[in-house]
Amino acid sequence: MSLFGLKFGKKKLKEEERQLQANNRDFNLQFEYANNSIKTSKYNFFTFLPLNLFEQFQRIANAYFLFLLILQLIPQISSLAWFTTVVPLVLVLAVSGVKDAIDDFNRHKSDKHVNNRPVQVLINGMLKDEKWMNVQVGDIIKLENNNFVTADLLLLSSSEPHSLTYIETAELDGETNLKVKQALTVTAELGEDLQKLTEFNGEVKCEAPNNKLDKFTGTLTLQGEKYALDNEKMLLRGCTIRNTEWCFGLVIYAGPDTKLMQNSGKTTFKRTSIDRLMNVLVLVIFAFLALMCLILAIGNGIWEYDKGYYFQVYLPWAEGVNSASYSGFLMFWSYVIILNTVVPISLYVSVEIIRLGNSFYIDWDRKMYYPLNDTPAQARTTTLNEELGQIKYIFSDKTGTLTQNIMCFNKCSINGKSYGDVYDMSGQRIEINENTEKVDFSYNQLADPKFAFYDHSLVEAVKLSDVPTHRFFRLLSLCHTVMPEEKKEGNLVYQAQSPDEGALVTAARNFGFVFRARTPETITVVEMGETKIYKLLAILDFNNVRKRMSVIVRSPEGDLTLYCKGADTILYELLHSSCDSLKEETTEHLNEFAGEGLRTLVVAYKNLDEDYFQDWIRRHHEASTALEGREDRLSELYEEIEKDLMLLGATAIEDKLQDGVPQTIETLAKANIKIWVLTGDKQETAMNIGYSCNLLNDDMEDVFIIEGSTPDDVLNELRNARKKMKPDSFLDSDEINIQFEKSSKKPKLIPDEQANGVYGLVITGHSLAYALEGNLELELVRTACMCKVVICCRVTPLQKAQVVELVKKYKKAVTLAIGDGANDVSMIKTAHIGVGISGQEGMQAVLSSDFSFAQFRYLQRLLLVHGRWSYIRMCKFLKYFFYKNFAFTLVHFWYGFFSGFSAQTVYDEWFITLYNLVYTSLPVLGMSLFDQDVDDRWSMLFPQLYVPGQQNLYFNKIVFVKCMMQGIYSSLILFFIPYGAMYNTMRSDGKAIADYQSFALMAQTCLLIVVSVQIGLDTSYWTVVNQFFIWGSLSVYFAITFTMYSDGMYLIFTASFPFIGTARNTLSQPNVWLAIFLSITLCVLPVVGFRFLKAQLKPTPSDKVLLKIKEAKKRPPPPSPKRRLRRTSTRRSGYAFSHQHGFGALIMSGRNMRPKSPFATTGTFSPNSDKHKHKGL
């Protein structure tokens, strides 16, 4: 292995094409392909120290303190001891280093867990258990049902007929429906014969590793024959094997070369905007410091030349100093050391402590704890808290983040009667909650125990053998492409192509129409306890144009029937004229269902004439075997037979949202946060969820759909949308057009543009691919950012990251990405803040995130409460910290003019040491950890309070300049008032107190009381801790001062405590206290006056909201009743949007069938059998 895991020598060439041989490790090793080990950590044992120190010294202040330490080691200019800098610097670096090490240790732990997963690898004719990380390109591995796919594999063979393999791709694209992969016939023959598999020596040539999840091209050469390979034969890492006992695969890409890892993005070092601003401000302060030191050094040169030269008997020059100019040069560096407290290192220690404290609040927040799976909220990174208070764009995944991945049969309309609502005795509709009585399905032994329904009248209709109701559920049990699995008698599991289908078939099952088994020619249904076998004569398959599917079946009685279900807009056109009145009633119900955000579907049937059907099926066979125009001919035949249908009713499925999603989105929108949904799901599914969670609504002026298939089409669609939203944006006078016409390579930030209404934008993955290229990206970001909501569907994980990167590039805004699966990792890493939801799709998202919790609804509390408080606290802390240090340090500057520019300190050296460490550290920490302008309840009720954080109003360059000016003003007062008060002053007993030590004590006492009063003015929320810290710090100051200036301390440490008796001598004089009071008044009065006048004459929006809250607190509002979000909405079909076209043909061919257990295929089983009656007792 190379030294420390780093490769030296020749650079590896970029891979153009991959070539590999099965079962030939020696051949494959020559290409140096990556093995299956993955690495998401940043450091290893040897690189941690240099890399971490490099990252930490990117903070200019850390580099500055290192420079200062070097200066303090030079005796000629050192005016303070070296340990005053080295101890805090090492402390800061150590605290940050330990924190980074713990974060990276967790990443190592996660990598180790994944890399050490077991897998069966074929080695020397035997299956051996190996760790994932030891798998190599060209190995043949065996996977079993519910296994994660180890690497990107070429499927060779499987337990299913025709070597089909069912996989779930939720980790890759968020879709929970099953997908089918099929091996080549030539490799399918290998089966599970280990001898044949070992002898398999096929050679694969394919494309180099890339991030395209839906594309793969390659060839397999076996015994001189070439076979084409495509994506349908590939099993990608991140998928899960389902409904397949075993399969064998050949490793094509491993570890970092897999498509999942190619999409995962890099772990980046995240810093907050305040961190970056502080770097700039520190540079400004350095320049200011250098200017002050230069002025004082020049002053020293002049003074030494003019006066000091003649006073060398009393003030001898330092050893080696032989001229006034050299003295000035040395004095420059001495003043750099003395005045360095304008950027004290304690600033960074305090910032880390504040961030850590606010992170604990997130961890401890019970209102963000999810008891169902015992998951508390977790701040996984402690350096980004205040940025949670500045979020402008949220990028959210859909599946598992907004939704629960659960489809529920919620309501239905049968023969003009609506079912699903619950009414009380007075006929009033009541809200369904966990206490509502569920329908008892115990009479049905085959019912799904997890299925819940609340309207008892539907069960009664079924039990009374109501003909339309029976026909309705018979249709649901027959018209679908679901595959049943019954490993144990009576224990049915449905494997559905689409979750919608699964929900409908499960509903039919519970209401007594149990889909039990299927063969290519039959469907077995247990109808009200009686097993019936229907002959399946044709499946008229679903596609995106037809938006419906039909089956033609022959009942045991010999009746021919076509059953159809599909989108209402399509099916209504195909109904018989006799259904008009029923259509009107059903439409009303559909509108009701859609208003509640449910996914609707219309069902209909048609009895067929035997002769007509025989003619139709003959023509169908001819069309399906035609070489030309097959699809068009089949489509025409489908249209012909699906006419004059009889309407049965409609279904309403709820794609269960996570609790509180619509309310959360509504609240975040009030906080002026824009939400973009980035999902791998289809357009219709994504839009459905958009409507059901209140992202999209019918009050919007328009929802633009961008689905162009060429760059020009996409550009035109984007421009047309922008023209409608803001026609002025095409004028030459538009500031953004002017800005971008000036050619410059550096990307420019685009200011926010206001549209002339509320709009939404939906863009598909292939259109997005064009929009993210070249000059189209600017058009995309301008158009999309004008919309209130953007939904990107069918996007790859990498495209999610590219969209986030695009907004970061062109918008001065803080972004947050939230997701729950491996397909969200790259987006989470790219955004300023990444939030992982610990959901059903594994823990990859959580492991890559900065913050994590269990439910999307907690996001509003994270941002509006914790984020906002963290931001306000950090801003108050920085304003106060810079103020108190300018006031403290600049007194030295003014004193220089009265001390011959001699680098003499104003204060006692002990006061300088303890000022930031003891006297002023705890009060500011108390404020920064406990302060809140309003409590959490008001923060949630008034989301508008969040807006100042987005605009960065509480701490920016202007605010910093104001702090600086206030500090300069205070330093003038704090120097000249004590100086004037002490000048030629006598004590009441006639003794003088106009000495340096008395002046120093008075100046430092004034300073400490002034900064204590200032923090009192800055505190909005008083606690016992704040009071204790402020009064305690003042008490400690006086206690230490009287102790250190006492006779005893002088006698014990004569050299260290020279201010003997000064405290007793000075602080006993009334005129000293009068001067102190005058200093405090002059420092504080302008601040109080300015704040009062500003709030009265020019209040900010936040001031107005705070005033409202103050008034509301006087008369607390009654608790707001829990309301259900209801709105009018257009109908949206929810039919089978995740369907793969062609699945019907697969079922009819029987290629995916295998013999089932005898009880699933016989016609004798009944839930009313004695056996099951005994079971139920």
Give 321-336 as a DSSP string: --SHHHHHHHHHHHHH
Based on the residue annotation, tell me whether 397 is a catalytic residue of this protein.
yes
Instruction: Classify residue 1172 as exposed, middle or buried by CB count within 10 Å of its CB (0-12, 13-18, 19+).
Output: middle
Contact criterion met (CB below 8 Å) for 822 and 837: no
CA distances for 1032 relative to 347, 740, 1012, 1019, 1134, angstroms = 21, 58, 11, 16, 66
d(CA 608, CA 642): 10
| Bridge-based pairing state of the strands 814-819 and 833-837 | parallel
Instruction: Classify residue 1070 as exposed, middle or buried by CB count within 10 Å of its CB (0-12, 13-18, 19+).
Output: exposed
Distance between the two ends of the chain, CA-based, in angstroms? 67
Contact criterion met (CB below 8 Å) for 461 and 414: yes
CA-nearest of 980, 973, 1057 to 1010 is 973
What are the backbone angles phi and psi of residue 904, rounded to the nearest 5°?
-80, 135
d(CA 1150, CA 162): 10
d(CA 1047, CA 356): 43
Q: Which residue has the tokens 């990252």?
A: 55
Contact criterion met (CB below 8 Å) for 929 and 873: yes
CA-nearest of 144, 342, 344 to 247 is 144
Amino acid residing at 20: L
d(CA 256, CA 748): 34
CA dihedral 90, 94, 97, 98 (to 10 degrees): 180
Contacts of 768 (CB under 8 A, 6+ apart): 706, 780, 792, 795, 799, 803
d(CA 965, CA 1012): 19
Catalytic residue among 103, 152, 365, 397: 397
d(CA 647, CA 130): 58
Phi-psi region of 972 (alpha: psi -120 to 50; beta: other; left: phi over 0): alpha
CA-nearest of 511, 446, 521, 160 to 1159 is 446
CA distances for 878 relative to 135, 350, 927, angstroms = 52, 10, 11
Q: What angle do CA 561, 563, 567 make, to 5 degrees?
A: 155
Alpha-helical runs (H) found in 126-183: 170-173
Which residues participate in catalysis according to the annotation?
397
